[in-house]
Amino acid sequence: MKLPLFIFAFFFFASMYGQKNLLQKKQDSIYIDILLSRVSGLDSIDSLKNDMYEALKMAKKHQFIYQQGQLHKMLGILYASDYKKIDSSNYHFNTSLHFLRQSGDSLASFDHANNISVNYVHLRDMPTALEYAIKALKFSKKLNLNEDLKKDRKGAAHLLLGSIYAEMKLKDSAIFNLKKSRSYFKDISSPQEFVASSNLGELFLKSHDYENSKIYVQEALDGYKTHDLIDGIVYGLNLFGDLQFAMRNYPEAIAYYNAALKKSDHTNMSQYRLLAYRGLIKVFLTQKKNDSTDLYLKKSFALLDTIEAPKEKVEILKLKANFLEGNGRSEEALSYLKWSIQLEDSITKKENLPKVATILVEHEKKDGLQELKNIKQISSKKNYWIFTVIVLLIALSLLTYFLLKKYRNKLNVSNKRKKRLETTLQLEKENNEYIRRKLVSAYANLALKTDLLSQVNQLLNQIKNQPKRNHNKEILDTQNQIKFQNHINNLWREFFAHFEEVHPNFLDQLKSKYGITQNDLKICAFLRMNLTNKDICQLMNVNPNTIRVNIHRIKKKLDVPTEISVAEFLSPK
């Protein structure tokens, strides 16, 4: 039986239409892949965004799940290049995670956590950046990839973690993660190895370990040159300039900074040019070359108007204040110093250590933050020495007034001197206030760390009292917390450094005159700050009886009269 002619025609045209749709779908898929491959060039970000959105429409039309995920990820990367559009970047990263998980992409969770962490680093929100970086590291260990790709992702995760710890001034944790990253990248011959090396070089430079700094910076610079990575070469030259400046080799420092400027002159490297300008300002300011200093200050401020660089801006504002003060323009210097302190405080608020501790010790979240808040309130009330500074300022102002009255015949000259003296005193007051905040911050850090040690001790007691229970998870958590405490000695050194700025020679005189121990020095420092025995017990993680015995022993060593307490004896006279 033959089919009617129209039925045959219907099936023929339906088949042709279906083949046409399949061909169009294949062409659109290839076009989307081509657009995705263009992102690495970043020739024109606005043009690429338009192309990505056009491709996204095609992917939605054909329901290409994986390609939709990739397109959203690339849009997130493109928006991340603009500091003011981080929210849009985060939106696309979150949408990308949804599609890529549907398509079964095993890298989706790692890429998402890593990219979001980088965005929060750009925003200077270090606690949130740390939270996502830790997630990225966990995901990198669970990836079902070949060994080289797995090492690449682990290296990236440790590199990001090391950079965040370095920003938060947790040196030991930063060094550990950066060395792990360098090791992974070295195993697979990845150029990222040199990024880790340059970060290590910068970290050792900030710690005044110039020998190790030079080793890692030289290794990074050689690697960048071998692979012809212009960004890395310019960054390495700037680092070498900073190293030579720190070692007071000023001609060599100038040569490296100029080399960095020359290398970045024809490329879009505003951030690196700003670093070179900053370095040259420091050198010329040290050499008291006013014209050169002023020239590069102007270039720096012109560049700062076009880019977001808050940390570098703080440094350059302070250098401007020093330059003006050295040229007798104290009033202008004060305005720049205030500006720098306000900007630095706004950055510090986003990098607060209490929030970091919250991430690492989630089960003590509310109690830990409340304890820190209470310690800050106690410290604020107890540190009454600032009133002494105010009294001294008033006394100096009165003294200046009477001196001016005595020399009435030179009233105009005397008024100018008085104004300059008052401005200088105000600068000192602002600087003392800044040092006081650093001391309080160090004090709060110590309190937080002591509280964490107490938590670790409680967890160990729990394990001891329940020997038959499997405590592998608790033991692992305890080990992680103990590792986190490895840098507590650095915090003590930082605390003593800030304390010495506020109370110069106080601890040295106690050691030389009475020969007391390091532990006794800590107690004496806290007593000088007018802390109670209860406060000291919490900070040093000991019981009240131990503190009372130690204070009694210190009283004998210092030969303090019976009717006077040690705190009164150590208080400012």
pLDDT tens for each residue of 208-247: 898 999 999 999 889 988 888 888 888 888 898 998 999 9
Q: Is residue 30 part of a domain?
A: yes
More confident residue, 16 or 517: 517
Reported as a single tens digit per residue, the pLDDT across 113-139 is: 888 888 888 777 788 888 888 888 888
Q: Looking at the domain assignment, is residue 551 inside a domain?
A: yes
Q: Which residue has the higher pLDDT, 34 or 110?
A: 110
pLDDT number for residue 251: 92
pLDDT category of residue 484 using cuts at 50, 70 and 90:
low
372 within some domain: no
From 48, 79, 105, give the residue that closes a domain: 105
Q: Is residue 82 part of a domain?
A: yes
Q: How many angstroms separate the CA atoms of 403 and 413, rounded? A: 12
Q: Residue 532 pLDDT > 60, yes or no?
A: yes
CA distance 78 to 178: 27
Please tell me the predicted confidence (pLDDT) of residue 353.
43
Asked whether residue 19 carries a pLDDT value surpassing 60, the answer given is no
Mean per-residue pLDDT, 497-517:
81
Q: Would you say residue 463 lies in a domain?
A: yes
Give yes or no for residue 252 having a pLDDT over 60: yes
**DSSP secondary structure, 278-302, as one string:** HHHHHHHHHTT-HHHHHHHHHHHHH
The band of 511, judged by pLDDT with boundaries at 50, 70 and 90, is: confident
Closest CA to 525 of 556, 501, 490: 501
State yes or no: pLDDT of 152 exceeds 60. yes
- Is 128 part of any domain? no
Domains: count for the chain: 2
What's the mean pLDDT when you consider all of the chain? 75
The pLDDT value recorded for residue 249 is 92
According to the model, what pLDDT value does residue 72 have? 77
Question: How many Å apart are CA 315 and CA 305, to the nearest integer?
Answer: 15
pLDDT tens, position by position, 347-383: 655 444 444 444 444 433 444 444 445 544 544 555 5
Is the predicted pLDDT of residue 47 greater than 50, yes or no?
yes
pLDDT band at 332 (very low <50, low <70, confident <90, very high): confident
**Calculated CA dihedral for residues 163, 165, 166, 171, nearest 10 degrees:** -140
* Residue 197: band (very low, low, confident or very high) from pLDDT cuts 50, 70, 90: very high
Q: What is the pLDDT of residues 435-475, one digit of tens each?
A: 655 665 555 555 556 656 666 666 677 667 766 666 677 66
What is the structure's pLDDT at 211? 92
As a whole number, mean pLDDT of residues 534-544 equals: 81
Cα–Cα separations (whole angstroms), residue 431 to 337, 358, 400, 441, 443: 9, 31, 21, 15, 18
Radius of gyration of the chain measured on its C-alpha atoms? 31
Higher pLDDT, 248 or 407: 248
Nearest-CA neighbor of 269 among 220, 233, 295? 233
Domain boundary among 61, 87, 105: 105
Q: In terms of residue numbers, what domain contains 40?
A: 24-105
Q: Which of 346, 337, 340 is nearest to 429 (CA)?
A: 337
Among the candidates 76, 105, 134, a domain finishes at 105
Tens of pLDDT, residue by residue over 262-290, are: 887 765 678 888 888 889 999 998 999 98
Per-state percent for the chain, helix, strand, coil, to nearest 5: 85, 0, 15
Does a structural domain hold residue 182? no
Residue 489 lies in a domain: yes
